[in-house]
Amino acid sequence: AQKITQTQPGMFVQEKEAVTLDCTYDTSDPSYGLFWYKQPSSGEMIFLIYQGSYDQQNATEGRYSLNFQKARKSANLVISASQLGDSAMYFCAMREADQTGANNLFFGTGTRLTVIP
Amino acid sequence: DVKVTQSSRYLVKRTGEKVFLECVQDMDHENMFWYRQDPGLGLRLIYFSYDVKMKEKGDIPEGYSVSREKKERFSLILESASTNQTSMYLCASSLWSGGRFYEQYFGPGTRLTVT
């Protein structure tokens, strides 16, 4: 089974509008972390935001917020006031605890966001 | 700033060649990772290392090996390159967990083409 599912291959949003990128996850581990990364056309993966499974509050980082619904196993990324520079691929990822302490990241297939002027 | 560097941005190799992809991080991170990225498949873990000389297989280790002789350097080796190994290769590093989930920091990627 896929550990991370991103069902939107592509999304369009008007500049200055808000957009939600969907992410659902699958784990039986009570302790895990959820991450969102942005990958512009240059190729580098940029860390955006993190949510721990035990965190009570939804994470926020500037214009990024994470809508964490634990019972539904969803961790949607909300980008407010979209800018042209937000056009990129966005990946949702999850880390589970493992014996090595490396805690591998499992990635979704990504959503390509295009911001329209 | 955390910096992860990869030896090449673009690489073209012939089938059967031995290929070395180098990754260096400057933040004293214990963990290092190699991923390959293909359209529609996201990032898939090839190998990771949680300490010098320690390595673990990821989801798709076949056809690859790794080496970590120094903490800051993690090398990915394609013993005999094949065309199905044409891909974008991303290196990442992170702190050892200690019970926490730290983000991974990524290098710029190496786009490898095997002809």
Contact B42/A103, CB-based, under 8 Å?
Answer: no
What is the sign, positive or negative, of the torsion defined by CA atoms of B56, A102, A29, A94? negative
Average pLDDT score over chain A: 93
> Which residues in chain B are closer than 8 Å to A43, comparing Cβ atoms?
88, 108-109, 111
Give the model's pLDDT for residue B102: 84
Give A15 to chain B, closest Cα distance, Å. Answer: 26
Contact B101/A95, CB-based, under 8 Å?
Answer: yes
Contact A107/B92, CB-based, under 8 Å?
Answer: no
Q: CB burial class (10 A; 0-12, 13-18, 19+) of residue B13?
A: middle
| Residue among A25, A34, A39, A45 with most chain B CBs within 10 A, to mutate | A45
Contact A100/B107, CB-based, under 8 Å?
Answer: no
What is the sign, positive or negative, of the torsion defined by CA atoms of A75, A70, A81, A15? positive
Alpha carbons B98 and A98: distance in angstroms, whole number: 11
pLDDT value at B112 more than 80: yes
Give the model's pLDDT for residue B56: 92
pLDDT, one tens digit per residue, over A29-55 is 888 999 999 999 988 899 999 999 999
- Extract the runs of DSSP E, i.e. beta strands, from A27-87: 32-39, 46-52, 60-61, 64-69, 74-79
Q: What's the pLDDT band for A99 if we cut at 50, 70, 90?
A: low
Size of interface A-B (CB pairs under 8 A): 73
What is the rounded average pLDDT of the residues A90-110?
A: 85
Give the model's pLDDT for residue A98: 73
Give the model's pLDDT for residue B63: 96
Give the model's pLDDT for residue A104: 81
Question: Which residues neighbour A73 within 8 Å (Cβ) at sequence distance 6 or greater?
Answer: A24, A25, A26, A27
pLDDT, one tens digit per residue, over B58-92 is 999 999 999 999 999 999 999 999 999 999 999 99
What is the rounded average pLDDT of the residues A96-111?
A: 82
| Nearest Cβ partner for A102 among B43, B48, B106 | B48
Q: What's the pLDDT band for B37 if we cut at 50, 70, 90?
A: very high
